[in-house]
Amino acid sequence: MMSTLQKFYEGRVVLVTGGSGFLGRVLLLKLLKSCPNIKGIIVFLRKKHGQSCQERLFQILSSSEFSAVPKESLVKVSPIEADIEKEGLGLSSKDREFLLTSRISVVFHIAASVRLNEPLDVAIKTNTLPVLEVTQLCEEMAQIEALVYVSTAYSQCPNSEIKEEVYPMPVDNGQIFDGKMLDEEIAMKCTYRKNGQWPNTYTLSKALAEEMIQKINGRLSVAIFRPSIVINAWKEPNPGWINNIQTVTRILRGVYLGRTRVGRFSDGKVADLVPVDMCVNAMIATAWETATSNHRGQTKVYNFVSGAQNPITWKEYWSICVQKIIENPTAHAQWYLFYVTIPLWPVYFSLWLCLELIPAFLIQGLHYCTFGPKRSVKDAFASLQYTTIVGYFSVNGWMYQDKNMRSLLAKLTPEDRDIFSFDIKQINWNKYLENCVMGVRIYILKDDLSTVPQARKRYKM
């Protein structure tokens, strides 16, 4: 017997932008596995590295995480060649007509550049303006019932308390539509990178997109979904699964290898982390509520965060992760694990010089004399650069309201809570972070568990 959410998706056609990304892949997987009677999923993909969109989709669906999906379900996924940075989303007239006649009823707009330091004009072109194109496309779909736009919980980071609402921006979106406002003017009006405002172009472009989608929405039922830091899977496709090294996972990888030895974190601040599979489950449920609540022309915001209900501090996060690394070292480790965190930039920089850069020069010099070139110094500078980019999020904290998210969870039947679980209170941080550490070892470092005994012996030498 099907659950309420499974019945909702029965016979439906869903459109997903950003299907090749971290969130997008897990969304595809979950819809195929847990909504067996879904009619079809259309995915926007662009040509990349000489591969057509069909070849890229085949590569995605052939990956290990989709191995448990029946072949008859995989054929429900169809690629459409698109490029969100281009006018009209880069769609051919034939493909656009296909989309408008495919009876699409739910759209998930995930596609975005997650690089925090893109030039402002690039960030707006990639993260802000496509919202206009996607919304206009949805407006032409006769069967559309829900548009879920995936933003970020940090879109309104200039505010210490972030409510589930769209905040007014200090620039006129209309001028951005028309291309009349240069990126320098936007930067000046928003004063991003200055104290008290947006720290980077990513969060600013997302904030602009949120206001844009609210202003231009005429008849659509729209949800703005704001996840915090999305990391390893809680359960699906496997506990600890991950396929990218964005956000704190990149730092964790460096710590695991012994390469990163100092980090810039405020121990008492909340590490607002959410599992990718819980995030996807919440998105699927959000689309259901958006479609069935009959609030056309309105935009509802959902903050999907962990700190409001099940907080963990950065001190607790690193304490658990370091302990799990010690218990399960990797055979690829380049140095013994040593890691300290400090919130103050001058102290961090001094420690970075002593603990990372100087040793890197020594190691690289020794290695060059014996074996040839090595990237130790380049890796040390990359660590510094990344810490500079993400430091704003690791030394500050925010209070989030998540009333809409809690209300949505309360509406789910017991069956749906089990199939599409996103109750953040269920996370046991000690067990979950152990799986995260092992996930980095297996999926990022490509180090099989069979090497653990050998790595332990090497670590104790």
Q: What is the pLDDT of residues 67-99, one digit of tens each?
A: 889 888 999 999 999 999 899 999 999 999 999
- Average pLDDT per consecutive 10 residues, the chain (461 residues; last block may be shorter): 94 94 95 95 90 90 90 92 91 93 95 87 90 93 94 94 91 61 54 66 92 85 96 96 92 93 95 97 97 84 96 97 93 88 95 89 66 68 90 94 96 96 97 97 92 80 53
Q: Name 47's Cβ contacts closer than 8 Å, sequence gap at least 6.
A: 53, 56, 81
Q: What is the pLDDT of residue 38?
A: 96
Give the whole-angstrom CA distance, residue 420 versus residue 423. Answer: 9
Q: What is the pLDDT of residue 457?
A: 80
* Order of all β-strands in the sheet with 104-109: 77-81, 40-45, 13-17, 104-109, 146-150, 222-227, 299-304
Tell me 95's DSSP state: H
Q: What is the pLDDT of residue 173?
A: 64
The domains found in the chain, sorted by start residue, are 4-228+272-310+398-426 (3.40.50.720), 234-271+311-396+428-461 (no CATH)
Q: 388: buried, middle or exposed (CB in 10 Å: 19+, 13-18, 0-12)?
A: middle
